[in-house]
C-alpha cells in the first residue's frame, strides 16, 4: 500500500474562541482537541505526521510532546495566511514525499476512524488526485458549501463569507478533511490566490482547480453529520462536548450502567464504569477515573483521577480527587478525599471528613467531622467525631499511625509524629503528643470540677 503522510492544521489564531488558550488545547471529554486527530493517526498506523502550528503556539507543541505522541514533527506557519498556506508550510517538512497526503484540521474532534478508512478506500478505487469528506448539516452556517454540477459532480467549494444567497442554502458542507496526491497538491498550491473576502489562501480552491483540469476527484459523506462539526467558538465547544458526553453515557448504558439523566452528568473519555453501577445527577466523573461494578453515586458527587472498587456507595456532595476507594466502602455525604487518600474495603468515611495522603484500613470508620492527613490507619479502627491529625508544624509534615483495632474517642488531636499501638483506646477530648502502647488507655483531660449550687448563687447576685 502506498504510504500516506499526514498534515494536521492547527496554526489558525482561533480568534472566534476569544480565549488566551490556543484553540486546539480546549478540552473535549477531558482531552484537548488536538488529541483527537493525533489519535486517529495512531489508530490508522499513520506514522509520518506534521503538525502545523503558529508562532505563538509553543503551548501546543509542549502539550503534544507531553501526551507522549511519538514521531510528530512540527511546522511553523507565521503569519497564518489561510489553510492553503498552512499546508504549504507543512509540506516543507515532506520535501521528498510523493505519496498521498491526508490533511486534517485540529478542530474537529468527532471525526471517526471509519470515515477516514472510507476516504482512503474511495480515493484509491477512483484513482483520484483529490478526495475529501463532506457532511450534510441541518444548519450549515459558517462552513464551506459544496458546489456540484447538474450531473452531481463536485466542482468547487465556496466559503460562507464568499457565498451568495443561493449557495448559502446548500446543506452539504466541507468538513476540512482531504486526501490528495502530493505532486498535484504542490503544483496547485502555487496557483491558489487570496482573492476572497478574508484575503486568505484557501485550501478549498484545490477543488475548482482539479475540476477545471478534469482531474479525477470524488467525495465521501460522513455516516454521522456531527463528524463534520468544527469547533470555532465557545458555543461550538460546548455543543461538541454535549454530544460526546451523551454518546459516552449511551455507550455506558449499553454496558448496564444506570444513569438517572442524560443532563448534568459529565463522563470524560478516560472514565470507565462497571455494570450495575447507578449514577445520579448532577455528577462529574473526569480525568482518568475507574469506577467498579454495582456502585452507587449520589447527586453532587465529583470524582477526578480516582479508582473506585466494586459495591462502593458515594453519598451526596462528596469530592474525590486522586483517591482510591476499595470495594464495599461508604463515602460521604459531604466527604472530601484528596490526593493519596486510600480507603480500604468496607471502610466508612462520613460527613465533613477530609482525608489526604492517608491509608484507612479495612472496616475502619471515620464517620464525622474529621481531618485525616498523612496517616496510616489500620483495620477495624474507630475514629471518633472531630478527630484531627495535626500533621503540619508550619515547616514539615509528619505521620500519625493508628494500628489495628484502635478506638479513638471524639474530639481528639494527634500531634504527629505519633503512633498508637494495636487495640489502644484514646479517651475523648485528648491531645495526644506521645506514642501509646498496645492495649493501653491514653487520655489528656483537665479534671472536671463541680461546685454545688454555684448557679443559684450566681443568679442571686444579679
Catalytic residue annotation: 368
Identify which of residues 143 and 259 has a Cβ nearer to Ca ion in the complex: 143
Within 10 angstroms of residue 74's Cβ, the number of other Cβ atoms is 18
By CB under 6 A, is residue 9 in contact with ligand UD1? Answer: yes
363 binds Ca ion (CB under 5 A): no
Nearest CB to ligand UD1, comparing residues 53 and 129: 53
The residue ranges of DSSP E strands in 152-287, in sequence order, are 154-158, 172-181, 217-221, 258-259, 265-267, 271-273, 278-279, 283-286
91: partner contacted, choices ligand UD1, Ca ion, none (Cβ within 5-8 A by kind): none
Decide: is 174 part of the binding site for ligand UD1 (CB under 6 A): yes
- Given Ca ion, ligand UD1, none, residue 174, with its beta carbon under 5 to 8 Å by kind, binds ligand UD1
Query: By Cβ distance, which residue is nearest to ligand UD1?
Result: 144
267 binding ligand UD1? (CB under 6 A): no
Give the Cα separation of 185 and 6 in Å (integer). 13
Q: Say if residues 113 and 43 touch (Cβ distance below 8 Å).
A: yes
| 83 touches ligand UD1 (CB under 6 A) | yes
Dihedral of alpha carbons 262, 268, 274, 279, sign: negative
Specify the stretch interacting with ligand UD1 by CB under 6 A; choose among 77-85, 255-263, 406-414, 420-428. 77-85
Residue 176 touches ligand UD1, criterion: CB under 6 A: yes
Assess 11 for contact with ligand UD1 (CB under 6 A).
yes
* 105 binding ligand UD1? (CB under 6 A): yes
- The phi and psi torsions of 65 (rounded to 5 degrees) equal -65, -40
Q: Which of 49, 51, 203, 285 binds ligand UD1 (CB under 6 A)?
A: 203
User: Helices 83-91 & 182-189, crossing angle to 10 degrees?
Assistant: 120
Does residue 227 bind Ca ion (CB under 5 A)?
no
Question: Is the Cβ of residue 77 or residue 370 nearer to ligand UD1 in the bound state?
Answer: 77
| 175 touches ligand UD1 by CB under 6 A | yes
Whole-number minimum distance, CB 232 to ligand UD1, in Å? 5
> What is the smallest separation between the CB atom of 232 and Ca ion, expressed in angstroms?
5
Whole-number Å distance between alpha carbons of 160 and 171: 12
> Is residue 230 a contact point for Ca ion (CB under 5 A)?
yes
Q: Is 40 in the site for ligand UD1 (CB under 6 A)?
A: no
Could you say which residues in the range 384-423 bind ligand UD1, by CB under 6 A? none
The three-class DSSP label of residue 63 is: helix
Q: Is 202 in the site for ligand UD1 (CB under 6 A)?
A: yes
DSSP states along 342-388: EE-TT-EEEEEEEEES-EE-TT-EEEEEEEEESEEE-TT-EEPTT-E
Measured between alpha carbons, how far is 267 from 244 in angstroms, rounded to an integer? Answer: 9
Cα end-to-end distance, the chain, whole Å: 102
Question: Rounded to an integer, what is the distance from CA 180 to the centroid of its chain?
Answer: 32
C-alpha distances (whole Å) from 63 to each of 74, 139, 295 are 12, 33, 34
Phi/psi class of residue 328: alpha, beta or left (left: φ > 0; alpha: ψ in -120 to 50)? left
Q: Does 298 bind Ca ion (CB under 5 A)?
A: no
Q: Which does 278 bind (CB under 5 to 8 A by kind): Ca ion, ligand UD1, none?
A: none
List of residues contacting ligand UD1 (CB under 6 A): 9-12, 52, 77, 80-83, 85-86, 105-108, 143-144, 157, 159, 173-176, 202-204, 230, 232
List of residues contacting Ca ion (CB under 5 A): 107, 230, 232
Amino acid at each position: 500500500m502506498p504510504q500516506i503522510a499526514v498534515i494536521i492544521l492547527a496554526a489558525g489564531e482561533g480568534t472566534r474562541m476569544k480565549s488566551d488558550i490556543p484553540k486546539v488545547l480546549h478540552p473535549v471529554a477531558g482531552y484537548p482537541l488536538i488529541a483527537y486527530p493525533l489519535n486517529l493517526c495512531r489508530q490508522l498506523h499513520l506514522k509520518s505526521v506534521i503538525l502545523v502550528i503558529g508562532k505563538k503556539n509553543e503551548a501546543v507543541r509542549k502539550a503534544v510532546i507531553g501526551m507522549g505522541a511519538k514521531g510528530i514533527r512540527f511546522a511553523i506557519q507565521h503569519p497564518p495566511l489561510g489553510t492553503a498556506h498552512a499546508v504549504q508550510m507543512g509540506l516543507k517538512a515532506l520535501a521528498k514525499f510523493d505519496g498521498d497526503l491526508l490533511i486534517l484540521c485540529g478542530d474537529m474532534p468527532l471525526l471517526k476512524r471509519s470515515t477516514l478508512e472510507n476516504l482512503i478506500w474511495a480515493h484509491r478505487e477512483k484513482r483520484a488526485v483529490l478526495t475529501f469528506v463532506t457532511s450534510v448539516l441541518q444548519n450549515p452556517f459558517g462552513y464551506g458549501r459544496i458546489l456540484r454540477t447538474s450531473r452531481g459532480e463536485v466542482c468547487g467549494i465556496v466559503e460562507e463569507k464568499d457565498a451568495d444567497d443561493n449557495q448559502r442554502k446548500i446543506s452539504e458542507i466541507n468538513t476540512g478533511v482531504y486526501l490528495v496526491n502530493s505532486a498535484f497538491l504542490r503544483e496547485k498550491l502555487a496557483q491558489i490566490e487570496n482573492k476572497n473576502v478574508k484575503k486568505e489562501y484557501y485550501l478549498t480552491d484545490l477543488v475548482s482547480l482539479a475540476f477545471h483540469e478534469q482531474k479525477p476527484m470524488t467525495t465521501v459523506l460522513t455516516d454521522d453529520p456531527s463528524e463534520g462539526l468544527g469547533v470555532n467558538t465557545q458555543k461550538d465547544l460546548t455543543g461538541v462536548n454535549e454530544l460526546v458526553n451523551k454518546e459516552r453515557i449511551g455507550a455506558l448504558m449499553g454496558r448496564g450502567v444506570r444513569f438517572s439523566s442524560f443532563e448534568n452528568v459529565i463522563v470524560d473519555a478516560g472514565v470507565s464504569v462497571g455494570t450495575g453501577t447507578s449514577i445520579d445527577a448532577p455528577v462529574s466523573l473526569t480525568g482518568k477515573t475507574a469506577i467498579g461494578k454495582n456502585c452507587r453515586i449520589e447527586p453532587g458527587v465529583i470524582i477526578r483521577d480516582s479508582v473506585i472498587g466494586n459495591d462502593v456507595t458515594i453519598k451526596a456532595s462528596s469530592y474525590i480527587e486522586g483517591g482510591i476507594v476499595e470495594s464495599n466502602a461508604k463515602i460521604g455525604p459531604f466527604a472530601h478525599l484528596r490526593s493519596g487518600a486510600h480507603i480500604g474495603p468496607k471502610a466508612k468515611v462520613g460527613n465533613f471528613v477530609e482525608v489526604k495522603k492517608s491509608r484507612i484500613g479495612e472496616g475502619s470508620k471515620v464517620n464525622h467531622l474529621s481531618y485525616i492527613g498523612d496517616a496510616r490507619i489500620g483495620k477495624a479502627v474507630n475514629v471518633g467525631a472531630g478527630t484531627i491529625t495535626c500533621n503540619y508544624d508550619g515547616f514539615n509534615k509528619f505521620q500519625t499511625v493508628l494500628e489495628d483495632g484502635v478506638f479513638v474517642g471524639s474530639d481528639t488531636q494527634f500531634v504527629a509524629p505519633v503512633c498508637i499501638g494495636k487495640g489502644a483506646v484514646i479517651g475523648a477530648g485528648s491531645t495526644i503528643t506521645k506514642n501509646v502502647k498496645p492495649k493501653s488507655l491514653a487520655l489528656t483531660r483537665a479534671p472536671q470540677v463541680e461546685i454545688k449550687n454555684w448557679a443559684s448563687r450566681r443568679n442571686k447576685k444579679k
